[in-house]
């Protein structure tokens, strides 16, 4: 089967639409009280590079734990999702990143089908190019059609497909969104799927507070650099004049909401201008910008989220400690 890769147009990513999305987000989130920014803003080229470093840190358990689950269960997951092996199988991955774990599932798919396609979706062109290179080198039989898209602000529109689609949303990325936002993302995805299609959802489970805090505040300071890179991005792309040295990375566990919160705390009273957004900001000392939530899940919460968005659970796999889960569900 011939492999094709759609060329990634870097210039198109750095478009007026992308800048407008940034402008709208800073106008929405930084003028409001309390201040906030959406986590999709982390993932420019530098942010994606820093996140890949985070996934290798000893404190950051989610990536290696989910990889262990997939490595041990990839065949069972794919077999459960792809009942009719006479049909082609398409993987569609939201927030694909570098697709390092996805190859485990693609390999399993190739063991039962000679017609496998992969559609990685990511907002970051450099990460998407790396994902395509990784898959093309390891699994040249897989057909690829990458999509540069911010699926949060611009919901995905899939091409019709005469086969089975398995949507992937791994890395507990769904945990970055408030419950209503998470429901909207999965509902938008469900609208693009057909009867017989499936979703594989990765989630990080509730666990002890010290383990959670360490995962988001590592000893090397990589997560801090990742968080602060949002300010550097606004300086680069929107002409802001943030002094990142005047902010610090702050992490807390919100037990009531069952989420880790990341903030950028102003260490002094200061003024900031964002030229291309046409806004001037005044920060008080200790005032924060809430940059990310990472919701943690229970079995009940996973089941409710899937039912409410049009999916029916078919299987659930966890590591030996029960720290992370991947859940397969089909379209209702």
Structure confidence by residue, pLDDT tens digits, 87-136:
999 999 999 988 889 999 999 999 999 999 999 999 888 888 989 999 99
Residue 239 has pLDDT above 80, yes or no: yes
Confidence band, pLDDT 50/70/90 cuts, at residue 7 = very low
Q: Are 97 and 51 in contact (CB under 8 A)?
A: yes
Asked whether the predicted pLDDT for residue 199 surpasses 50, the reply is yes
- Distance between CA atoms of residues 120 and 167, nearest Å: 10
Mean pLDDT in residue range 27-54: 95
**pLDDT in the model for residue 97:** 83
**3-state percent helix, strand, coil for the chain, nearest multiple of 5:** 40, 25, 35
Segment 269-280 shows an average pLDDT of 98
% of the chain beyond a pLDDT of 90: 86
Q: Give which of 281, 283, 280 is closest to 270, Cα–Cα.
A: 283
Asked if the model's pLDDT at residue 12 lies above 70, the reply is no
What's the whole-number average pLDDT of the chain?
93
**For 153-193, what is each residue's pLDDT tens digit?**
889 999 999 999 999 999 999 999 999 999 999 999 999 99
**CB-facing half-sphere around the CA of 230: CA atoms within 13 A:** 26
pLDDT of residue 83: 82
Residue 127's φ and ψ, nearest 5 degrees, are -65, -40
pLDDT range class, residue 4, cuts 50, 70, 90:
very low
Whether 278 contacts 264, CB under 8 Å = no
Which pLDDT score, from 0 to 100, does residue 15 have? 52
Domains defined for the chain, CATH in brackets? 1-332 (3.40.50.150)
**Per-residue confidence at 3, pLDDT binned at 50, 70, 90?**
very low
Asked which of 23-37, 123-137, 221-235, 315-329 is least confident by mean pLDDT, the reply is 123-137
| Strand pairing report for 247-254 and 279-283 | unpaired
3-state secondary structure of 263: strand
Q: What is the mean pLDDT of residues 135-162?
A: 93
pLDDT of residue 98: 84
Phi, psi of 229 (to 5 degrees): -60, -25
List Cα–Cα distances, 22 to 205, 239, 276, in angstroms.
31, 12, 10
The Cβ of residue 248 has, within 10 Å, a number of other Cβ atoms equal to 16
pTM of this structure: 0.91
Q: What is the pLDDT of residue 116?
A: 97
Of 281, 217, 199, which Cα lies nearest the Cα of 31?
281
Choose between 86 and 73: higher pLDDT: 73
Contacts 24+ apart (CB under 8 A), 227-231: 227/42, 227/262, 227/264, 227/291, 227/292, 228/264, 229/42, 229/44, 229/46, 229/47, 229/50, 230/37, 230/41, 230/42, 230/47, 230/264, 230/289, 230/291, 231/264
């Amino acid at each position: 089967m011939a492999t094709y890769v759609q060329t990634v147009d870097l210039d198109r990513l750095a478009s007026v639409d992308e800048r407008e999305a940034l402008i709208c987000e800073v106008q929405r989130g930084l003028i409001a009280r309390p201040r906030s920014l959406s986590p999709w803003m982390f993932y420019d080229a530098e942010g994606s590079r820093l996140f890949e470093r985070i996934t290798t840190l000893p404190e950051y358990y989610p990536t290696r734990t989910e990889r262990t689950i997939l490595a041990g269960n990839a065949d069972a997951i794919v077999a459960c999702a792809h009942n009719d092996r006479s049909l082609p199988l398409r993987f569609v991955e939201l927030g694909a990143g570098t697709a390092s774990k996805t190859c485990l599932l693609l390999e399993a798919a190739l063991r039962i089908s000679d017609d496998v396609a992969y559609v990685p979706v990511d907002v970051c062109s450099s990460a998407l190019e790396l994902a395509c290179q990784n898959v093309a080198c390891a699994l040249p039989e897989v057909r690829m059609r990458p999509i540069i898209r911010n699926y949060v602000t611009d919901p995905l529109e899939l091409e019709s497909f005469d086969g089975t689609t398995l949507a992937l949303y791994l890395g507990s990325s769904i945990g970055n969104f408030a419950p209503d936002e998470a429901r909207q993302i999965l509902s938008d995805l469900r609208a693009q799927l057909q009867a017989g299609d499936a979703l594989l959802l990765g989630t990080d489970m509730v666990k002890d507070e010290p383990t959670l805090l360490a995962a988001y505040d590592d000893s090397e300071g990589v997560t801090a650099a990742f968080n602060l890179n949002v300010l550097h991005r606004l300086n680069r792309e929107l002409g802001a004049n943030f002094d990142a040295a005047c902010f610090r990375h702050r992490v807390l566990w919100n037990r009531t909401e069952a989420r880790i919160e990341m903030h950028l705390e102003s260490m002094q009273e200061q003024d900031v201008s964002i030229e291309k957004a046409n806004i001037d900001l005044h920060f008080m000392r200790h005032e924060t910008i809430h940059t990310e939530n990472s919701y943690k899940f229970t079995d009940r919460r996973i089941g409710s989220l899937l039912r409410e968005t049009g999916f029916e659970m078919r299987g659930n796999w966890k590591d030996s400690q029960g720290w992370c889960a991947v859940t397969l569900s089909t379209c209702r």
